[in-house]
Chains A and B, each alone.
Chain A
Amino acid sequence: EDKVVQSPLSLVVHEGDTVTLNCSYEVTNFRSLLWYKQEKKAPTFLFMLTSSGIEKKSGRLSSILDKKELSSILNITATQTGDSAIYLCAVGAAGNKLTFGGGTRVLVKP
């Protein structure tokens, strides 16, 4: 059974802090790892990492895939209150199957 585990479950930081979120996985026929941000409603896509693209960056957010360790981290620098959300990690496997982790709830205080 495919498994995706995220840590920590939740964290509280203050504006300007840096946060690091972790995602580890055990899946058959790994294809990709995706990060999503979920605020009030549906998850919205942030990054996709594959064997040919193990590092992505967009503004204050960056992510790295470690295929050897079967894990990924998502970094958010200079956090803002608008970064408060649940961050979801998903792993894509053969046949387009997409399995999500339980998410990390991030609260950024002013």
Chain B
Amino acid sequence: DAGVIQSPRHEVTEMGQEVTLRCKPISGHNSLFWYRQTMMRGLELLIYFNNNVPIDDSGMPEDRFSAKMPNASFSTLKIQPSEPRDSAVYFCASSYGALNTEAFFGQGTRLTVV
């Protein structure tokens, strides 16, 4: 298995632009997580899905952030409009099972908003 695949690996955009981050989880995994990592705040859970259904989005910073999971093999995290404070590394992770098992992480998307 190729693991969790995220794209793009790097994104530089101007303030106010829309940004879409993509994630392909490991086949067969039924939970998907979006995390944001910064030096100041560490690894923050933004939202997670279970069987394609958003379960907890309380970590989403504000309405500018939205996430979708239209099917078991694809998810997007969208920021519109983007702001410089959104600059961070965004990780997608997936796991399997009704009980917690280890989550496998993608390589992350480094987002820079200028």
Which residues in A have some Cβ–Cβ distance to B below 8 Å? Answer: 1, 31-32, 34, 41-45, 48, 88, 90, 92-93, 95-103
- Classify the interface of chain A: helix, strand, loop or mixed: strand
Minimal Cβ-Cβ distance residue in A for B100: A92
Question: Which residues of B sit under 8 angstroms from A99, Cβ to Cβ?
Answer: 45
Q: Contact between B55 and A100 (Cβ–Cβ < 8 Å)?
A: no
22 A-B residue pairs with CB within 8 Å: A42-B91, A43-B91, A43-B105, A45-B104, A48-B102, A88-B43, A92-B100, A96-B50, A96-B55, A96-B98, A96-B100, A97-B45, A97-B48, A97-B55, A98-B45, A98-B100, A98-B103, A99-B45, A100-B43, A100-B44, A102-B41, A103-B42
Q: Could you say which of A32, A43, A100 contacts B99, with CB atoms under 8 Å apart?
A: A32
Minimum Cβ distance to chain A for residue B108 (Å) = 6
- Classify the interface of chain B: helix, strand, loop or mixed: strand
Give CA–CA (A102, B33) in the complex, Å.
17
Minimal Cβ-Cβ distance residue in A for B44: A100
Say which size band chain B's interface belongs to. Answer: 20 to 34
Q: Contact between A34 and B102 (Cβ–Cβ < 8 Å)?
A: yes
Most A C-beta atoms less than 10 A away, residue of B98, B100, B102: B100
B87 at the A interface (CB under 8 A): no
Q: Could you say which of B55, B93, B108 contacts A95, with CB atoms under 8 Å apart?
A: B55
Give CA–CA (A103, B102) in the complex, Å.
17
B95 at the A interface (CB under 8 A): yes
Question: Which residues of A sit under 8 angstroms from B97, Cβ to Cβ?
Answer: 96
Given contacts A48-B102, A90-B103, A96-B100, 9 further A-B contacts (CB under 8 A): A32-B100, A42-B91, A43-B43, A48-B101, A88-B43, A97-B45, A100-B42, A101-B42, A103-B42
Minimum Cβ distance to chain B for residue A19 (Å) = 19
